[in-house]
Amino acid sequence: MFEVLVYVYENYWRGDACPEPEQLGRKLSAQGFDADEIREALHWLDGLSLATRGVQLERHADGSSATVLPGIAADAALPQSADAMRVYSSAEQEHIGAECLGFISFLESASVLPGGMREIVVERAMATPGEPLALDELKIIVLMVHWSTGVEPDALVLDELCDASSDRIAH
């Protein structure tokens, strides 16, 4: 499934540029992807589309950002306080794994993943098969959430999400 998601990310710059599921399925099939992988990826993308429909990222003057969810006025939503902490359920801890939860925490502390987007990442991570989730798979999920919301991550963050850390040489 993740190979299909990478293909979609690389070939359709934004989520709104992606063709309808039926047409996308035919294109993926023509590229040689397995029918089960295509079906699984299209189902996952449909869930992503539902989760991110109407989501906007709002930047504040102090450099912080907040996720504005559909149906909630920007001024009505309470911002997450700086000392707030997300507590993960046992099922989330088991499925996502400690390494991936640590990476999510890193992205939050770097102000790359506001609370609302974090929740979409966690929800989409829970919608994947297998456990625990591999870090490379989580990075694809984070990229796809940014892709679907139309929020372009910072160049350094994009490098962190796209680069395989095992290929890096320490200086």
Average pLDDT, the chain: 81
pLDDT for position 109: 87
**Structural domain of 83:** 2-167
The pLDDT tens digits for 151-167 are 777 777 777 777 655 55
Lowest-confidence region among 99-108, 120-129, 160-169: 160-169
- pLDDT beyond 90 at 104: yes
Residues 6+ apart with CB under 8 A from 61: none
- Predicted confidence (pLDDT) at residue 30 exceeds the cutoff of 90: yes
Using CA atoms, how far residue 13 sits from 17, 22, 44, in Å, is 7, 19, 18
Please, which residues bridge with residue 58 across strands? 66
Per-residue pLDDT tens digits for 43-95:
999 999 999 887 655 544 455 444 544 444 444 455 667 677 889 999 999 99
Please state the rounded mean pLDDT for residues 140-153.
87
| % residues pLDDT > 90 (the chain) | 47
CA distance 165 to 91: 27
- What predicted TM-score, i.e. pTM, was given to this entire model? 0.79
Report the run of H or E that residue 59 belongs to, with start and end: strand 56-59
How many domains does one find in the chain? 1
